[in-house]
Structure 1
Amino acid sequence: MATMAFTQPKKNLLPLLLFLFCISVIILLILLSETTHSVSQRDATLQLNHNNALPPFTFLIKVLTFNRLHSLSRCLLSLSAADYGLAGNSQRIHLHVYIDHFSLSSPDSKSVGDRLSNAKEILDFVDKFEWRFGEKLVHYRTGNAGLQGQWLEAWWPSSDHEFAFVVEDDLEVSPLYYGFLESVIRNYYYDRSNYDPSVYGASLQRPRFVPGKHGNKLHVDPKTNVFLYQLVGTWGQLLFPKPWKEFRLWYDEHKSKDKKPFLDGMVTNGWYKRLGERIWTPWFIKFIHSRGYFNIYTKFPNERALSVSHRDAGVNYGKTAGPDSQLLNKSTISSDFLKLQPLSNLKWYDYCFSEVVPGRVVKSLNELGTILPSVQREKTVVLVSLFDADKMFIRNLLCHFEKIGTRNHVFIGPSSELFYDLSRRGHPVIDADMFLDKLVKSKSSYSNSAKEAMGNAYVVKKCLELGYSTWVFSSNALLVDKSPLLDRVRSEYDFYIGESSGVLIVQSSPVSQKLWSNELLNSIISSATKNLDFIHLVKELVERKGKMIKTVETMSIAENNNANSVNQSLGDGKPVVYWSPEVDSNVIRTKLEELKLWLIDDDLSCKAVICHSSLR
């Protein structure tokens, strides 16, 4: 009886234990499933999966229309006739039609009754229009928003996986347009190894003009179908979510402060002065200039394109101008046009249609020897130190380089946000820490001034080996005119120094090449531990060798309170101004503004785009 009393409860516990075990397994499987789903979602946001399938994304077609029924019908029919492959089955391609309302105060000859009738015709057509590939949404405004409002209010991305393809109603697209844009999204957005945050989207229109006055002719290698160009293309523009959000916030900030999108030297200035807030492109162009972003463009033979504007009468055209190009179709292009090259292989162009080469970061002496030939102009290299540099003065210096047409500059300094942003924008940079890593022992124990001296010394030596002269500038000096400097350094001297201004010019000559030997280089490196600045070290060592040094005429703006006196000095041919790093940066900025040498705006971007035909 005792045994039976003991075993009976044990048997009753077994079902309970089994039940609890099953519940535990189910909970574990749920947690495992959630974890796997979370990881999968995270990985999907970063890259394509192993079978090269695109992660789920939303493609929104934003059609902007007003009172052109014929144009709208042609546009929608071309969109519905495009090849969407299997994408339409996943309900990810949605059509959003934005119909602007007519203005009751419009001065045109049409009566209100005529305008009401026209609006109803458009609404009836859109209501009946069948869209098989996803959701159709119609937004009929209660007031006249205009072209700017239509564009800017059409989209706020709901996620980083939502893309907008914006078309105005007089546009017609190729049946191949979506296949190309999907390939762009696949290759240049989701492929992390081929992604660049500087790219804000893709335009399908044929590139037609250069907005920078006196810019280069728009010429691309006939074998090149895809390139990058800063200019937005309003005739079929794909927009990436993050840059568009950034622009809208930037626009709100500038608009609320009553700032205007003026950018001197651009054709778009005339557009804005004539049309004002009726158009939106000058705002976006100004934003792109301040950020240094780029747009993907296509270029096909015989003036063909993936989208065509019929340039019907409206805001942009007083009367219909007709199609600007011809639509691309399967019979006019090879089947491999969707096989896009890596982003690093493409050409990049600015508003002047001058080539920009982003991502040039020098990390070794060998890399320096490779990059200098592409930097030099007339066998001269301008080396600018970024050690302890103030961001706004470097930006201002770049605007002066652009103004006087200096393209042969290279920056050297420690790794920083500014450093890599300059590289992203196309300015070659030398990462001083990595550059000195194998050249100098125990470099980490050196001060910034020592690293600056050693880095500059090695760069000058490499320039001389290649037969190039070197102009070395500190971040507290500003080259405002290179012509007088060029005239002065063509004399018999091999070394020119502005000791207070931090300027050194080493001429490429047998004397300087022999003097700047390993012996002199080693002397500079050994003396760097004294924390003396680079210019002072060179002056001391060259004089010790018994060589003559010519003084570069410069002007200190911090020590001279008379703006007229400084302007007179500059007029007399002093091409360099400088200031002591101990002087407050706001004081220096005020001085430069008084002298009209402050060329940047509140975004730290140049107030003007200056194209130089001589640099073509």
Structure 2
Amino acid sequence: MASPRRRSVPLPLLLLVFPVSLFVVLLLHHRSSGPAAALLSGAGPSPDPDPRRFSFLIKVLAYDRPAPLRRCLRSLAAADYAGDRVALHVLVDHPPPNASLDASREILAEADAFRWPHGEKRVHYRAANAGLQAQWIEAWWPGSDDEFAFVVEDDLEVSPLYYRFLKRVVMTYYYDRKNYSPFVFGASLQRPRFVAGKHGNKIQLDSETRLFLYQMVGTWGQLLFPKPWKEFRLWYDEHKSKGIKPILEGMKTTGWYKKMGERIWTPWFIKFVHSRGYFNFYTNFLKERALSVSHRDAGVNYGKSVGPDSTLLDGKNLDFNIWELQPLNKLKWYDFCFSEVLPGRVVRKFSELGSVLNSVQLENNIVLISLYSIEQRIARNMICHLEKAGMQNYIFLVSNPQFQDDLAHRGHPVIDGTGLLQSIKMSNSMYSDDFVEEIMVKAHVVKKCLDLGYNVWVLNGNMISLGSKLIEPSDQSVDLFAAESVDLIFLRGSQSSKKTWNELVILRMGDGLMSSKSDFYSSLERKNFVGMLTKVLGSKGDVRVGKLDEIVPVELGPHTSNRSLSEGHCKVIFWSHGMASDSVQSQLENMGLWLTDADSSCSAVVCSQKQ
């Protein structure tokens, strides 16, 4: 990391900043109510962001290196600001007690004498040593939603083109509402080289990719957007006050935090970004070029001078149109593992279902998971188990619009059940409750899977698949398998399954649900899709249903233990719909199966390289 401190820093820390479909979601996901929410929203109605109010602040973090600071300030002053007024704030940390003051005196003299022709210049000299974490976190509190901060450590050098490029990014992706996402926290100018997730993919980008989004924060020239930074500051205060640590297992940065503690700040921001599902703009200029480079001077992070990490991109070596930016929906998104994320996959019409199913399937297998009537914290814990098992071919059936958007922006594919039924002229007013709607949505999604020739699993959010992916049953003589106790089915994508489903299930189930006098309708209280399916198939009598012998479900209860899970090679644990969520969470915690943290996000990052 390009730290402004001449202190002994372990080499792993240095690696942290090594260049480390339409998605327009206007509804911000869950935020805490109370004073923090009031601070984020302001005391009263605030005006919408206006490009005419755009304000750019440069925050230079300095400590004890006069010569690198001089080089940094000169490069900033030489940049093209197109006549804009830009403020420069030089933040100088104080030496620790009993340390020499000579370097500080020289830095202050350098900063005072430095001529800044582009606007206001301020020098802030601390009265006591703050450290790197406080220097970053206290560098800025946004004055408005139109104020942006560019944070620069003192051993950096920027390109003359850096400001014009960053301003263009802001105008395109912040002020242009059709290209805006509230889940973008800023833009990094460093060359991306570092993947923080353990066992993640290498950073490999094609030569046509100039701009992309990546969850990792950069510290070698990072532009911060005002709203996410305010949100982070309040989140940081709350977690600090409660003694919560930024531990995110599966990340290399967590190991550094356990070793370095509060001397570093990035693990805090990384944990915040993970909890919110936020992203950062990065550039890919090829030939190891970047708009901001670290000189990695001797005595900072290295025993001897290593030299610049990249080549500075300027007008002399510019061989492409740097000002041409693609629409947001054309850009690629990557998580901490540098696995591609596909945000915005929300199926609201039946006509949209096929393309999303095609993007979900792996080896012609799809897992349909219903989250109807499942509390969000329980659903999020289940998602953590899916990630731990490396399952990637799932799609969620969700009834809550806000939850749909939150899952979708994180890259999870979701189906809006109400919208899907309305698109095929089936109003939910035709049915008595959400469970009836859920049954019909499941029936039509399964039909589409079978029409496309895909095998499909259907399960609910009141269960957890333990330790492995769902495996296709070995019995090839049967196309339909069911486990009624756990409400789980598997269908092969065969012509036989397709014929049975279209001729029996879709027609007979719909007729049965519409008739309040039928036995079919009277059994709805069980809220069991497999039970309803059995009644439909039983009315014909010639459809053989196989048993899922490979799965031995265990019901969660007061006497359930880890030992009971290991007996009989259990594959899933489930609980009744009537079981209180607090009891579910408590028992899963006791068994080590609760994988979310205080932010209701996964407590670990699991990198599963794409097949």
TM normalised by structure 2 equals 0.87
C-alpha deviations, 1:548-607, integer Å up to 9, x for none? 2233334344335141442323xx322111101211111111111122211111111111
Task: Establish whether residue 100 from structure 1 lines up as the match of residue 96 from structure 2.
Answer: no
- Aligned match of 2:508: 523
Residue 45, structure 1, aligned to residue 48, structure 2: yes
Would you say 1:293 and 2:278 are equivalent positions?
yes
Q: Are the equivalent residues in 1 in contact too, given 2:484–2:528 (CA < 8 A)?
A: no
User: Structure 2: how far apart are the matches of 1:312 and 1:275?
Assistant: 21
SS of 2:485's equivalent?
coil
1:56 maps to 53
- The residue type equivalent to 1:174 in the other structure is S
How much has 1:525 moved relative to structure 2? 1.8
Task: Label 1:385 to 1:489 Cα distance change in 2 as closer, same or farther (>3 A).
Answer: farther
Alignment of 1:126-525 (within 5 A): 126-313=111-298, 316-317=301-302, 319-334=304-319, 336-446=321-431, 447-483=433-469, 485-486=470-471, 488=473, 491-525=476-510
Residue identity matched to 1:354: S
Q: Say how many residue pairs are matched.
A: 553
**1:258 positional shift:** 1.4
Are the counterparts in 1 of residues 49 and 146 from structure 2 also a CA contact under 8 Å? no
Alignment partners' CA distance in 2, 1:388 and 1:242: 32
Counterpart for residue 83 of structure 1: 80
Pick from 556, 562, 583 the counterpart of residue 587 of structure 1: 583
Larger mean Cα displacement after TM superposition, 139-148 or 515-524: 515-524
Residue 423 of structure 2 aligns to a residue whose secondary structure is coil
Largest Rg, 1 or 2: 1
> What amino acid sits opposite 1:495 in the alignment?
L
Task: Note if 1:607 corresponds to 2:603.
Answer: yes
Q: Which moved more, 1:506-515 or 1:71-80?
A: 506-515
Amino acid at match of 1:97: V
- Contact 2:215–2:280 (CA<8 Å) still a contact in 1? yes
Alignment check: 8 A CA contact 2:290 2:312 kept: yes
Distance 2:448 2:472 in 1: 24
The one-letter amino acid of 2:233's match is R
SS in 1 for 2:287: helix
Deviates more, 1:134-143 or 1:413-422: 413-422
**2:333/2:341 contact within 8 Å kept:** yes
- Aligned partner of residue 338 in structure 1, secondary structure: coil
TM-score by length of 1: 0.87
Moved more, 471-480 or 348-357: 471-480
Q: Secondary structure at the match of 1:500?
A: helix
Q: Which runs of 4+ in 1 moved over 6 A?
A: none
Amino acid at match of 1:462: K
**How far off is 1:314 after superposition?**
6.0
> Cα deviation per residue 1:252-291 (whole Å; 9 max; x = unaligned)?
1111111111111111012112221111001111110111
Q: Distance in 1 between matches of 2:452 and 2:58?
A: 54
Write the distance in 2 (CA, Å) between the matches of 1:415 and 1:560. Answer: 30
516, 525, 534: which one aligns with 1:539: 534
Residue type matched to 1:96 in 2?
H
| In structure 2, C-alpha distance between the alignment counterparts of 1:263 and 1:298, rounded to whole Å | 26
Q: Residue in 2 aligned with 1:39?
A: none
Q: Equivalents in 1 of 2:513, 2:440: separation in Å?
A: 7
| CA distance in structure 1 between the partners assigned to 2:91 and 2:563 by the alignment | 59
- Shift in Å at residue 403 of structure 1? 0.8
Q: In 2, are the aligned partners of 1:402 and 1:610 still within 8 Å (CA)?
A: yes
In the alignment, what sits opposite 2:565?
Answer: 567
Provide the C-alpha distance between the structure 2 equivalents of 1:270 and 1:81, rounded to a whole number of angstroms. 39
Query: Cα distance, 1:493 vs. partner?
Result: 2.5
Given that 2:365 and 2:454 are in contact with CA atoms closer than 8 Å, whether structure 1 keeps it comes out as yes
**SS of aligned partner of 1:95:** strand
Structure 1 564/240 Cα, relative in aligned 2: closer, same or farther at 3 Å? closer
RMSD between aligned residues? 1.8
Q: What is the distance in 2 between the residues matched to 1:369 and 1:97?
A: 55
Conservation of the 8 A alpha-carbon contact between 1:59 and 1:164: yes
Q: Is the 8 A contact 2:369 2:395 kept in 1?
A: yes
Deviation by residue 1:354-387 (Cα, 9 ceiling, x = unmatched): 0001111112222111121110011111111121
Distance 1:285 1:266 in 2: 10
Quote how far apart the aligned CAs of 1:301 are. 1.4
Deviation at 1:316, TM superposition (A): 4.8
Letter in 1 for 2:262: E
Question: Structure 1 residue 410: deviation in Å?
Answer: 0.7
The residue number in structure 2 matching 1:549 is 545
Given the superposition, is the C-alpha separation of residues 541 and 445 from structure 1 closer, same or farther in structure 2, using an over 3 Å criterion? closer
Report the Cα offset of residue 148 of structure 1.
Answer: 0.4
Task: Kindly provide the amino acid, as one letter, of the partner of residue 104 in structure 1.
Answer: P
Cα pair 1:560 1:566 within 8 Å, conserved: no
The structure-2 alpha-carbon separation of the partners of 1:491 and 1:350, relative to structure 1 and needing over 3 Å to count, comes to: same
Query: Are the equivalent residues in 2 in contact too, given 1:489–1:496 (CA < 8 A)?
Result: no
Match of 1:558 in 2: 556
Counterpart-to-counterpart distance in 1, 2:123 and 2:142:
18
Structure 2 gaps, min length 5 = 1-44, 515-520
Tell me the distance in 1 between the aligned counterparts of 2:234 and 2:512: 51
Q: Which amino acid aligns with 1:80?
A: A
Shift in CA distance, 122/577, structure 1 to aligned 2, threshold 3 Å? same
Give CA deviations for 1:407-462 in whole Å, capped at 9, x if unaligned: 11111122421111001111111111111113243422322111101111111011
> Larger relative contact order (C-alpha < 8 A, sep ≥ 6)?
2
Query: Residues 156 and 293 of structure 2 are in contact (CA less than 8 Å); yes or no, is this contact kept in structure 1?
Result: yes
Aligned pair in 2 of structure 1 residues 317, 496: CA closer, same or farther (>3 Å)?
farther
Shift of residue 490 of structure 1? 5.4
Contact 1:557 1:591 in 2 (8 A): no
Instruction: Give the structure with the higher percent helix.
Output: 1
SS at match of 2:53: coil
Aligned partner letter, 2:599: D
